[in-house]
A and B are shown apart, each in its own frame.
Chain A
Amino acid sequence: MLLLTCPCCGVTAEETEFTPGGEAHLKRFGPGSSDEEFDAYMFQRKNPRGVHFERWRHAYGCGKWFIAARCTMTLEVFATYPAQTLEPPAEVIEKIRARRPDWEGAQ
């Protein structure tokens, strides 16, 4: 079971109270971008086995979006933080490194 804590209302609940929104921190490529860039933005996802950054929405709760850093293998959640964050915050990276010293990083 995946337990998430919503940073917008402070509730911790299991995943059925939330809706997944796919990979987080995507950079949008729209009009004027190359086909490769648009293809990467639109279709290519990391889908890693391990550390992953994901968008989630507290659909049955406060209704807000947020970002979760978690492990896709163990369902361990390292941190959740506001959706208005362009890249994983340093303290989140630190928490992940403490638990996954071999992690290759967010790139």
Chain B
Amino acid sequence: MSDQLLSALPGAASEGFVTVAEAGLRGMITLRGDLGRLTFALAPLGLDIPAQRAITQADERSLAWMSPDELLLMLPYSEAAEATRTLQEELRGEFATVANVSDARAVFALRGKGAPDVLAKLCPVDFAALKPGEIRRTRAGQVAAAIWVAGEDEMRLVCFRSVAQYMFDLLTTAALPGSEPCLYS
């Protein structure tokens, strides 16, 4: 394994009416199977199975509902490999999949009051209806994305690493000063 672990666009950031920043490496594990039967494996992590479209948090970890048979576990990057092995071990014999997808993803943070305005230009989503604790899978421009409210005036977006540059440029352009649609701010 290389000792140089790099996120998709290390340090990439742009300043518009919203600050767009690539948020660095994040551990991500995809779990697929009957969600009710994944509960016991996730219990040691202190995480409850989220309700439909919900995202639950516990310390540095969060667990997102991605589809009726899919969860996304997010945790510190350094814990992902070990957690994947543990979950695979615990779910041995179950009809379930555990995959470490950390290196297949990129994360962006949008900071500023206008974050929903930036995303509203790119996604077919009513961001007034997106509440903290909910994750919304959708498209941003031409690529798939998952978006949630990460705090006061901060939203986070996950996409495939292969489209990280496209996403960064897209978000940066949508956040250009003077282009505020002021839908939500």
Contacts and interface: CB of A to CB of B under 8 A. Distances in A.
B137 A61 contact: yes
Which size bracket describes the interface of A in this complex?
10 to 19
Contacts of B137: 9, 11, 60-62
Contacts of A64: 67-68
B156 interface: no
B68 A16 contact: no
Given A60-B144, A61-B137, A61-B138, A13 B125 contact: yes
A61 B146 CA distance: 8
A75 to B, nearest CB: 15
Interface in A9-45: 9-11, 13-14, 16-17
Contacts of B66: 62
B124 A9 contact: no
A66 to B, nearest CB: 11
Nearest to B66: A62
A50 interface: no
Interface in B114-168: 124-125, 136-139, 144-145
Closest 9 CB pairs of A and B: A62-B67, A60-B139, A14-B124, A61-B137, A13-B124, A60-B144, A17-B124, A60-B138, A8-B68
Given A11-B136, A13-B124, A62-B67, 4 more contacts: A9-B53, A10-B53, A16-B124, A64-B68
25 contacts: A8-B68, A9-B52, A9-B53, A9-B68, A10-B52, A10-B53, A11-B53, A11-B136, A11-B137, A13-B138, A14-B124, A16-B124, A17-B124, A17-B139, A60-B137, A60-B138, A60-B139, A60-B144, A60-B145, A61-B137, A61-B138, A62-B66, A62-B68, A63-B67, A64-B67
